[in-house]
Chains A and B, each alone.
Chain A
Amino acid sequence: MTRIDATFERLKSEGKKAFVSYMMAGDPDEATALSVMRGLPAAGVDIIELGLPFTDPMADGSTIQLAGQRALENGMTLEKTLDMVRAFRSDDDTTPIVLMGYYNPIYNRGVDQFLIDAKEAGIDGLIVVDLPPEEDEELCIPAQNAGLNFIRLATPTTDDQRLPKVLQNTSGFVYYVSITGITGAAAAQAADVAPEVARIKAQTDLPVIVGFGIRTPDVAEEIAGVADGCVVGSAIVAELASGKSGDEVLSFVKTLADGAHSA
């Protein structure tokens, strides 16, 4: 059982929905990013998604693109991202960390070496946007064999015929993308999302977490209400980008977490 599985068991026993936050490793700088990351569990975050910066994030809107650029300009690398996880793990051994990014930096390191390093650093799961089920042999299957969860995205274009293929090698949870679009774009609508979550849950026992287009505590509550939880990314990254202090950002995160948890 991974930390992700354990977290969902705990949430289930508490009757609570999951709140997942996203932040970019090394944004706006390594020290601030680490101190914010360390504050996330106390702000109510159940699972941390940590973005691995990439020059060409083709599924992300400008907020996350710019965060990645800032991180890279500050010298962030895959190794430093793993260092950040190691530092976090030195005083938190329970909060799950999902590394989210694109395949090339991982492929560049070598999949086998990456999996050894990621596991050792304390990463629990991976979301790799540009690896659909058709490319499962690349990383998904080796990651599962190495004991990491591989969390797949399901989207509004994933029809019933295709859904089993998407669910087949997914573990940890299913990440439902609420909109056809990029991160930080259109607003998620609970009325649209509810039947989609039901459609996925009819085919899997895994928790279904909804992300993309969630920016406010109210929407977090609405969306978490029709799923097993929700993800907020761009709205948090934008707070960091606006020059707010780590504590201010964490207070904002807490309002979002409270929203999701009151669902």
Chain B
Amino acid sequence: MANDLFNSFMKGPDEKGRFGIFGGRFVSETLMPLILSLEEEYEKAKTDQSFWDEMDYLWKHYVGRPSPLYYAERMTERLGGAKIYLKRDELNHTGAHKINNVLGQIILARRMGKTRIIAETGAGQHGVATATVCAKFGLKCVVYMGAHDVERQAPNVFRMRLLGAEVVPVTSGRGTLKDAMNDALRDWVTNVRDTFYCIGTVAGPHPYPAMVRDFQSIIGKEAKEQMMEAEGRNPDTIIAAIGGGSNAMGLFYPFLDDKDVNIIGVEAGGKGVNEKMEHCASLTGGRPGVLHGNRTYLLQDDDGQILEGFSISAGLDYPGIGPEHSWLHEVGRAEYVAITDKEALEAFQLCCETEGIIPALEPSHALAHVMKIAPKLPKDHIICMNMCGRGDKDIFTVAKHLGFDMSDTEGRTAD
């Protein structure tokens, strides 16, 4: 497969929006003309210096980029093996990597003359980022969020409302992230003329997976330069957590053709990847199918019906994964593993205790894998992990799982 791409892993997608067999444009006809015009506008923007000048300015002055690359010295000592660096994307404005992409899409929406922005959100981080950038530009913003997530992520719901967004609790289906995405697509199909759909991850119909990857690639580009400055070479291993996979794709992409760099994606293993499907590990426990505009690995039953994921982390709670990850998995360029809720919670605590950083539950999954492999690796092995979000939003969930009594924060605990 790599030969088809002239030995580069960075040439995808093809003109049909495919990475190997994955990706594509599986949408209804009503949306098809919009997706084609989005592709055209994005292709124009990509080579337009004024677009990137605007992005760079806002990345620097609004988001706070570049995010630091931080040597986690005490964690390294504690684990006693590989040298661990954290790419600090949790320090971005709004507390996660999500805003890197939102900024790009909203600037594009403005260029396309769209006045209304819609988004889906799971944990609420993408919703908050979208509401934030919409507030900054004075755009109307509607965020679809599963009713179940509205309950367990109350602080983010309030944030979005403070920022002027309308948050629509989604009760269709089972009221989770995938249902929120269905309802966002239903809104889009109804309001095609003035509305731009700001997708939060590297999934959906082409050009979204490639476009979101390109916007998030700032993570990997910076990490590469910063690692060169710190160590004079590439890291040996790069690691990121994966729900849909945007922070991971952002870190991985600039390293895809550096053959000596190991790439590891960490999926949410929930209660364990078993026949009960109480997890969100699409690559580890799913198989290829078509949902939300793309072909990719999905959690599904024998009849091709989509299953609900399960994870302690609302941000990883999605039954699919970006199509480029499915392709990297099949061609073997990246390795994908699963981490359970329990392991993620242990990593969460280790990070708090050793580094004074409260991580989000999503990157805690990546960190849990670092904890597994670092002790067995030599001291000159360099790991770079993407700390893609901070954990303020998760403290209630974590408190509940650790048995802390936070009853004075009624209604904010999970379930």
Which residues of A line the B interface, CB within 8 A?
Answer: 53-59, 61-62, 65, 69, 72, 77-79, 102-109, 129-135, 152-159, 162, 166, 177, 180-182, 185-186
Contacts and interface: CB of A to CB of B under 8 A. Distances in A.
Contact of A182 (B190, B289, B305, B306): B190
Given A57-B182, A185-B190, 13 more contacts: A56-B292, A58-B189, A59-B30, A104-B305, A131-B26, A132-B27, A132-B28, A157-B29, A158-B32, A158-B33, A177-B29, A180-B190, A186-B190
B24 interface: yes
Contacts of A152: 29
A211 to B, nearest CB: 13
8 contacts: A56-B179, A58-B185, A102-B290, A104-B306, A134-B16, A157-B32, A158-B32, A180-B191
B98 interface: no
A154 B29 contact: yes
Contacts, number: 118
Interface string B21-44: 000111111111110000000000
Interface string B276-304: 00000000000001111101001010011
Contact of B192 (A54, A106, A180): A180
Contacts of A65: 172-173
Q: Which residue of B27, B34, B178 has the most chain A CB atoms within 10 A of its CB atom?
A: B27
A152 B31 CA distance: 14
Contacts of A185: 190
A61 B186 contact: yes
B264 to A, nearest CB: 29
B88 to A, nearest CB: 36
A105 B32 contact: no
Closest 5 A/B residue pairs (Cβ): A108-B304, A105-B304, A181-B190, A155-B30, A132-B32
Given A104-B290, A134-B16, A153 B28 contact: yes
Mostly, the B contact residues are mixed
B30 A55 contact: no
B34 A58 contact: no
Contacts of B173: 55-56, 65, 69
A56 B303 contact: no
A65 B300 CA distance: 18
A117 to B, nearest CB: 13
Interface string B177-213: 0110010011001111100000000000000000000
Nearest to B206: A134
Contacts of B186: 58-59, 61, 182
B289 A108 contact: yes
A134 to B, nearest CB: 5
A109 B306 CA distance: 14
Contacts of A156: 30
A109 B26 contact: no
B174 to A, nearest CB: 9
A65 B170 CA distance: 13
Nearest to A79: B303
B25 A108 contact: no
A55 to B, nearest CB: 5
Contacts of A129: 28
A162 B33 CA distance: 8
B113 to A, nearest CB: 16
Contacts of A158: 29, 32-33
Given A56-B173, A132-B27, A157-B29, A104 B189 contact: no
